[in-house]
Amino acid sequence: MAQLELQGLRRTYAGINAVDGVSLHLAAGSLVALLGPSGCGKSTTLRMIAGLEQPDAGRILVAGQDVTHLPPWSRRMGVVFQSYALFPHMTVEANVGFGLRMQGVGTSERLRRSRAALDLVGLSDHAGKKPRQLSGGQQQRVALARALAIEPTLLLLDEPLSALDAKLRDELRVEMRILQRRLGATAVFVTHDQAEALAMADQVAVMERGRIAQLGTPEDVFERPATAFVATFVGRSARLPGTAHGTTTRCGPGSHGSTLHTATPHHGPVTLFIRPHRIRLLAPGAPALDGFPNVLDGTIASIDYTGATVELVLDTPAGRVPIDLPADDPAWRTLTPGAPARAGWEPSHTMAFPA
Amino acid sequence: MTRRTGLLLCLPALAILALAFLWPLGILARMSLNRTEDGRLFPDITGETYVRLAEDAFTWGLTFDSLRLSAVSATGALLLAYPMALFLVRTRSRFRAALALAAIAPLLVSGTARVIGWLAILGDQGLVNAGLAALGLPRQPLINNWTGVQIGLTESVMPYTVLALLAGFGRLDTALEDAAATLGARPLSTFWRITVPLTLPAILGAWILAFVLGMSAFITPKLMGGGRVFVLATEIYDAAVQTLDWPTAAALAMYVLLLLALILAAQSALLKRVGT
């Protein structure tokens, strides 16, 4: 049985469907990321699961029980808010123990369990402090401990890392995932950061205008995006507009255009998507290699060294083509902006969506 | 900004304060040390006005009545204003601005006009008593006594408490109440454990403001008390204008100032303790 099930959840604000028929199954112990741009309905969906907002239609089931009309205080869901929402007038320990206090757990038991929750996030030494005496990362951990202390049926994370700087965000992301796995918590994670969603989640639900555009494993949404929106939102790509006739597509203007190949047939106006790590940098003027029937000639627009990879951008008549090279590959060292270059890739790595 | 430019920027305000507040205050302090005899003023330096006032049980009665009146009306105004301010801060209604304006609209009307309005409502032939009579109930004396003054004063300080609360509620984050709810707190529990503690500084500030305004209120006790309600403010007025006993008026004014200073000091000490 699914730990969480959403059935046709809908929420309307001023005539606009903020959430428009969201359905979802979530197995116990797994983590689903609701991924999408702001205004896509991901936060509203989370708030409806928490009971902080009422759906206009649809049902929410937790472990088979309909909780759609239960108030938030009867749902026992651990929520980590974007702003953490720690109670500023209470100590860290009182914050973590608040949920247990509301459940009527006795003082000594409450102390023991809130200490245990603080231990989980490595903050037992800060129990007596007020939230404002802690750093952003520590506050985030307290918020997580507070949500975990009530032994929630679901863990709901609303952009829990977005207020932190990049390095800390990565560290806490790993910590959170390890903790969630260890406790076997079923979790819904709302984020607009695709890298975060791919790294954390068992299932990613990419949301667009109140609907789930695609639900799948991180690999599914990255490698096999269902729509042009998903392909655009998750990961970078070369995006080349063109006209398809079967497995060939004409891209670029008239005589300067190129014929590119796709593995599956398409017809009419399309946009081709190719991931930067699938594209090879070839010598200019070199004949098309076996396996790289798709080639585009252009000039190098930029060379960005980012540490492990070097991100090139090629300007071609068909459009801009980003290429990721391993920094170990010495090829990029001889490149200069403005120099001619050729990009090549396989038809099987070419995704096409109707434009 | 350096210390000096800061000081420079404060200069106009300080100058006005010195000219319009400290200077007259000095004159008042000096006046309170004068002596009157048979309506004639002697420019002495003597504390005998203070001594006479301190020995007079009437002064202490006045003090008690004034403090009680101000405290009760401040508390009443706060209790009425708090839910209103909380609603105004929360609501997403498009009438929010209009409602906020309505809450403080009484400030746009002169105090005298408002008192006259109350007389029409609370008077012997007023709305309330007409209603009571229609129900066959005995009429209640609601003006020219403490009840009337209490009602009028509560109403007259309420817009200020709404304003003070609204200003203080700025930092009230609704996510905190959401968090409390998800942790199992029912609305009433959230209110007492989260909302009230977090708005305590605003509550204290609004109460003190209402209290200070109540202590210095003159029109309402004078007009709604019908000459039967005596507070420090009306007594100062009577001493200055009716009996022309300026040293007594000045000494009472200095005394009220001292009382308010003590209360403000107590408030700031309290704020330091509750301030999160």
Which CA distances in Å does A230 have to A212, A236, B260?
10, 11, 66
pLDDT digits (tens, 9 = 90+) for B262-273: 999 998 898 888
pLDDT digits (tens, 9 = 90+) for A117-128: 999 999 999 999
pLDDT value of residue B74: 97
- Is B182–A78 a contact, with Cβ atoms under 8 angstroms apart? yes
Q: Using an 8 Å CB-CB cutoff, list chain B residues near A148.
A: none
pLDDT value of residue A258: 87
Strand-pairing partners, residue B249, are none
Interface predicted TM-score (ipTM) over 0.90? no
**Which of A98-112, A168-182, B115-129, B262-276 is predicted least confidently?**
B262-276
Q: Which residues of A touch B (CB under 8 A)?
A: 50-52, 71-79, 81-83, 85-89, 98-99, 102-103, 130, 146, 150, 156
Which of B94, B174, B183 is the mutation pick for testing A, counting most A CBs within 10 A? B183
Q: Is B196 on the interface with A (CB under 8 A)?
A: no
Q: What is the spatial distance between Cα B87 and Cα B205, in angstroms, rounded to a whole number?
A: 19
DSSP run (H or E) holding A249: strand A238-251
- Whether the CA torsion A221, A224, A226, A230 is positive or negative: it is positive
Average pLDDT, integer, range A327-352: 90
Average pLDDT, integer, range A217-231: 95
pLDDT value of residue B173: 86
Buried b (16+ CB within 10 A) or exposed e, A146-176: bbbbbebbbbbbbbbbeebeeeebeebbebb
pLDDT digits (tens, 9 = 90+) for B145-161: 999 999 999 999 999 99
Q: Is B194 on the interface with A (CB under 8 A)?
A: yes
- Is A77–B182 a contact, with Cβ atoms under 8 angstroms apart? yes
pTM of the model: 0.85
Residue B276 confidence class, pLDDT cut points 50, 70, 90: very low
Nearest CB to B183 within list A88, A99, A130: A99
Nearest CB to A89 within list B178, B185, B197: B197
- Is A98–B185 a contact, with Cβ atoms under 8 angstroms apart? yes
Question: Using alpha carbons only, what angle is made at residue B18 by residues B13 and B20, rounded to the nearest 5 degrees?
Answer: 90
